[in-house]
Structure 1
Amino acid sequence: MDRQLRGRIAHSDHPIAAPLSDRNVQRLLDRALRGRTGRVLDLGCGEAAWLLRALAAHPELEAVGVDLDEAALTLGRERAEALGVARRIGLHHQDAKEFKAHQPFDVVLTVGATHAYGGLLPTLAAAREHLAPGGLVLIGDCFWQQEPDAAALAGLGVPNADDHADLTGTIRLVTEAGWVPVLGHISTSEEWDDYEWAWTGSLAEWALDHPEHPDSAEAATIAAEHRLGWLGGYRGTLGFLTLLLRRAD
């Protein structure tokens, strides 16, 4: 099953592609945009959910999003038209690592997309290239809430724990790279559960509703295996941290 199609379906019943409630998405976005009247960039924007919220609430903003999923970008453009903000947003079908902008951005978003750059620090380095002086980065990534056991690693399909640090280690990495956290949010167990039930449920229901689709059986299998990997593996072990950052220099 195409990974991009799977992701669109799995996230269709959740506010964004990360374990954050609708209320906390809005709270983080409001804080990031407080007093900002310029340009916002989302690296790995998907259907541009963050950007569309920003534009709807802040008529003075302009936004740019970059993603490899062309179908998701098409949905984003359609929603931008429906909201009446299409003239203030540019959505680019491009590898975020190759994106070049003519002007810097006041806020750079990249929530749940650090895999595109190979981890947290490379993502922050890429975001910095696009950031205006005094600008803010809103970034979301996983961390270990507790030491992962074999079941947690198996549930995630990873060979070892090297992909993430614990919470303290994550903050240390960020600050040693020259960033200052000005706000943070650790996703609650309720946010995680809502996200995982939505992810697996949306994919499973799509499979039930499209029995003749060539990907139907695989989608059902993916949903079932993911559900078991979460419930029997990494639930309570994998955390998600969203940080609002400024440069120290």
Structure 2
Amino acid sequence: MQRERISRLAHAHHPVASPLDDESVRRLLERGVGAGDGHVLDLGCGGGEWLLRALVAYPGLRAVGVDVSDSALTRARHTAQTLGVADRLDLHHAEAADFASTQRFDLVLSVGAAHAFGGLLPTLAAARGHLAPGGRVLIGDGFWERDPSPEAVEMLGDFTDLATTVDRVVADGWVPVYGHVSTRHELDAYEWDWTGTLASWALDHPDDPDSPHALAAAATHREEWLRVYREAFGFVCLVLRSTSG
């Protein structure tokens, strides 16, 4: 079963592919978008969930999304048409790290996509190259709430604790002007949605050739979450401004 299909099915009831509830997403966009009449770029936009919410909430906004998944971009285009915002959304099929544009953006988003750049600081370096003077970056990434097991590090990555994460961002020339640390409820709700939605699809489609694989993937993910990283993993979103203007 293709990993992309697993992810699409698992996120059916939690379309923002990060442990954030709707109110947290709204507040982060509010702090990032500002006046709401500028240009927004999402590096690793997936199905465009962040951009679509921003475009609906801010009619003066224009947005650009970049992703490697054709099917995700197709979903984004379809949803944009349904919501009536397609004329303000430009989507590019490309590696986020390789995207180039002469346009400079008032907000650059990259939430849960740092792996595409090789880590948090390389993601910020890429974002800086697209940022208009006085613009903001909204970035989301993991951190360790407590010392992880070697298995958790191998599974999720070599994060640091929250304070060290913020220190590194500040040392890189950024000032946090807002932030949100995902609550235990948000973290657990995301994982229950991911595993439960995928498992429900498998049970509802027993004749689909992918059904056994989906059920096994849900069980494996649930086991890894509960036994390997649930007590250690955290997620933070930061709205940042550059000290270099």
**TM norm. shorter chain > 0.5:** yes
Q: Which amino acid aligns with 1:226?
A: H
Counterpart for residue 127 of structure 1: 127
Q: Give, in angstroms, the shift of residue 150 of structure 1.
A: 4.6
Q: Give, in angstroms, the shift of residue 214 of structure 1.
A: 2.7
Q: Which amino acid aligns with 2:200?
A: E
Counterpart for residue 2 of structure 1: 2
Q: 2:210 aligns with which of 189, 192, 215?
A: 215
Counterpart for residue 243 of structure 2: 248
Name the % identity.
Answer: 56
- Poorly superposed stretches of 4+, deviation over 6 Å: none
**TM-score in terms of structure 1 length:** 0.94
Q: Which amino acid aligns with 1:124?
A: L
Q: 2:152 & 2:202 partners in 1: Cα distance?
A: 26
Question: More deviation in 94-103 or 190-199?
Answer: 94-103
Check if 1:204 corresponds to 2:182: no
Q: 1:62 & 1:177 partners in 2: Cα distance?
A: 28
Q: Give, in angstroms, the shift of residue 32 of structure 1.
A: 0.8
Kept in 2: contact 1:40–1:62 (CA 8 A): yes
Q: 2:233 aligns with which of 234, 238, 243?
A: 238
Q: Give, in angstroms, the shift of residue 141 of structure 1.
A: 0.1
Q: 2:2 & 2:43 partners in 1: Cα distance?
A: 21
Q: 1:152 & 1:73 partners in 2: Cα distance?
A: 31
Counterpart for residue 89 of structure 1: 89
Q: Which amino acid aligns with 1:175?
A: V
Q: Give, in angstroms, the shift of residue 210 of structure 1.
A: 2.3
Alignment of 1:74-85 (within 5 A): 74-85=74-85
Kept in 2: contact 1:189–1:236 (CA 8 A): no
Counterpart for residue 26 of structure 1: 26
Q: Give, in angstroms, the shift of residue 151 of structure 1.
A: 5.9
Counterpart for residue 45 of structure 1: 45
Q: Give, in angstroms, the shift of residue 212 of structure 1.
A: 2.7
Q: 1:152 & 1:102 partners in 2: Cα distance?
A: 40
Q: Which amino acid aligns with 1:210?
A: H
Q: 2:221 aligns with which of 222, 226, 229?
A: 226
Counterpart for residue 174 of structure 2: 179
Counterpart for residue 157 of structure 1: 155
Q: 1:189 aligns with which of 153, 165, 184?
A: 184
Q: 2:200 & 2:93 partners in 1: Cα distance?
A: 28
**TM-score in terms of structure 2 length:** 0.96
CA deviation map 1:151-175 (0-9, x unaligned)? 644xx635xxx61010111011101
Q: CA RMSD in A?
A: 1.4
Kept in 2: contact 1:119–1:163 (CA 8 A): no
